[in-house]
Structure 1
Amino acid sequence: MSKVCLIWVAFAAILGCTSSSRFDELYQPSWAMDHFTYEGELIKMKLDNYSGAGFGSKSKYMFGKVTLQIKLVGGDSAGTVTAFYMSSEGAYHNEFDFEFLGNTTGEPYNVQTNVYVNGVGNREQRLNLWFDPTKDFHSYSILWNQRQVVFLVDETPVRVHSNLEHKGIPYPKDQPMGVYSSIWNADDWATQGGRVKTDWSHAPFIAEYKGFEINGCECPDAVAAVDNMKRCSGGGGEKRFWWDEPVMSELSVHQSHQLLWVRANHMIYDYCKDTTRFPATPVECQHHHH
């Protein structure tokens, strides 16, 4: 169990606080099972010119924090995308994306984040990282509660999507989400706008995973959606979950400074500032401080 889970277990009755470092307790391959390799606690997923691969969580969750430790495809990874994301189902789904866009050898990986609300995305931000993500494992996390969605890299916040419902802006809070990762070929757009294609002579392209953690409110399929919502939103009479505590409702001062540093030094694209795509500034961009 992670430290944060243990800390809050001491203070509150946390129901559905699922945590594990074992892949097979939390996840299962969703396609191309022959493209998986299991080495103890380590999972490797490969992309070749036959197929990519993907896995998904066995359960769905409403709020919490999910973390994967990933070592991205090394060398010439142009054209490849490794994704880590949460998503609900249906035409009006919600989704939180990390997409790691491969590049030619020596060029930095770009990380694209996106947020879909009620089936609508187009909220891309891109940044380069302050380390080489192919040399070692780094942790990538999504924290989701009723107040904010926070994307974190090694616990440094790189993006915040705040709840602005009081401004009439919809916020993803009523659909349970699965947790997913996949690797696939996207050379029509992934690297330098699609100009650089995948060089299959470098295949297979391998992404490595460990440290599988989900600390979230599990939503069993057998339980009615309205009951899951009530339970996971603290409306079922139980004590609060750790992610509902006031301290988790916004970034700390230190985290706010970290986010400002990331935005100043590593952000290379922000949809909020793309006047070509959005001649009128998207409404949430007018209110987000971050």
Structure 2
Amino acid sequence: MAVLFKMPVVLGFFVGLMMLGLASSAEFHELFQPGWANDHFIYEGELLKLKLDNFSGAGFASKSRYLFGKVSMQIKLVEGDSAGTVTAYYMSSEGPYHNEFDFEFLGNTTGEPYLLQTNVYVNGVGNREQRMNLWFDPTKDFHSYTLLWNQRQVVFLVDETPIRVHTNMEHKGIPFPKDQAMGVYSSIWNADDWATQGGLVKTDWSHAPFVASYKGFEIDACECPVSVTADEIAKKCSSSAEKRFWWDEPTMSELSLHQSHQLVWVRANHLVYDYCTDTARFPIKPVECEHHRH
């Protein structure tokens, strides 16, 4: 399968900036801390690099948890033969009924495209995978990967282009992730039991270490101290007459017309798997798929 090196229409660039806010980048240590395998972290000025070898991968986590807002970072993925490796970037709450939004970059053999898998967990239930290839080579330069989350929708964006929307459809009896604060995480690890061609292609450790690079850390969201109760979090992070968060503005409740067109373009040209159309796994279509437009 060849990578499609097409660029999406960018007429809505400024619209995208308005949608995402204008938070400035922070240093890694201002927002995050190593989570495991500190000896597999490499710091080079503004860059952070995580390495995977046959001893360990590595991961980091945000110092705080958040309820609603925008989280973004720029990542350059493992170059060359990355089969079997996964670089994950995600938001997650804790516990058996957790909520989670995933970017998972599935490595591949040299010359084959990276696959980007997204997933959404609500109250501990996932199985909402979508996979796509990208319109650029994500190993050659940094690209921004963003999660925008409010009470109406969760939007996954790549370089300001929406690639997935999970809409609040509680009015149809479908749960939506809106009451659990989430941490922000990233890691690189070996997943050759499933990551590349369903586990058929294994990690070639002669190419190790596998290195993912990061910069441009941005979090513009409602911060939630660990000691605060769920009710207090909901009150603190909901707009009211006294305060109004930009992500709760009416213009943030759905995609703009241009962004909707971008999403249609992405799905038409780059989506290679959607759980909503997988009748082998789901003989009865998942209930949100009946209503989700995207």
Post-superposition shift, 1:267? Answer: 0.1
Deviations 1:70-91 (A, max 9, x none): 0000000000000000000000
Counterparts in 2 of 1:120-199, with a 5 A limit? 120-199=125-204
- What is residue 285 of structure 1 aligned with on the other side? 289
Deviations 1:229-271 (A, max 9, x none): 1110225x53210000000000000000000000000000000
Structure 1 residue identity aligned to 2:43: Y
- What is residue 86 of structure 2 aligned with on the other side? 81
Aligned mate of 2:265, from 233, 237, 261: 261
Q: Distance in 1 between matches of 2:132 and 2:287?
A: 22
- What is residue 50 of structure 1 aligned with on the other side? 55
TM-score by length of 2: 0.92
Post-superposition shift, 1:177? Answer: 0.2
Q: Which runs of 4+ in 1 moved over 4 A?
A: 3-8
Aligned mate of 1:245, from 244, 249, 260: 249
Distance 1:5 1:274, change over 3 A: closer
Structure 2 residue identity aligned to 1:147: R
- What is residue 34 of structure 2 aligned with on the other side? 29
Q: Distance in 1 between matches of 2:230 and 2:130?
A: 32
Residues 67 and 180 in structure 2, CA contact (< 8 A), matched pair in contact too: yes
SS of 1:37's equivalent in the other structure is: strand
Structure 2 residue identity aligned to 1:94: N
Structure 2 residue identity aligned to 1:239: K
Is residue 271 of structure 2 the alignment partner of residue 271 of structure 1? Answer: no
Equivalent residue pairs, number = 278
SS of 2:192's equivalent in the other structure is: coil
Q: Distance in 2 between matches of 1:289 and 1:220?
A: 35
Aligned mate of 1:205, from 205, 210, 213: 210
Distance 1:75 1:6, change over 3 A: closer
Structure 2 residue identity aligned to 1:58: K
Residues 19 and 252 in structure 2, CA contact (< 8 A), matched pair in contact too: no
Distance 1:246 1:209, change over 3 A: same
**Aligned Cα RMSD in Å?**
1.5
Counterparts in 2 of 1:82-97, with a 5 A limit? 82-97=87-102
Q: Distance in 2 between matches of 1:149 and 1:6?
A: 12
- What is residue 4 of structure 2 aligned with on the other side? none
Post-superposition shift, 1:5? Answer: 10
Calculate percent identity across the aligned residue pairs. 78
Deviations 1:191-228 (A, max 9, x none): 01110000000000000000000000000123332111
Residues 20 and 70 in structure 2, CA contact (< 8 A), matched pair in contact too: no
- What is residue 7 of structure 2 aligned with on the other side? none
Stretches of structure 1 that go unaligned for 5 or more consecutive residues are: 9-17
Residues 156 and 163 in structure 2, CA contact (< 8 A), matched pair in contact too: yes
Distance 1:29 1:262, change over 3 A: same
Residues 78 and 198 in structure 1, CA contact (< 8 A), matched pair in contact too: yes
Q: Distance in 2 between matches of 1:276 and 1:141?
A: 31
Post-superposition shift, 1:148? Answer: 0.2
Deviations 1:138-180 (A, max 9, x none): 0000000000000000000000000000000000000000000
Post-superposition shift, 1:19? Answer: 5.5
Q: Distance in 2 between matches of 1:107 and 1:228?
A: 44
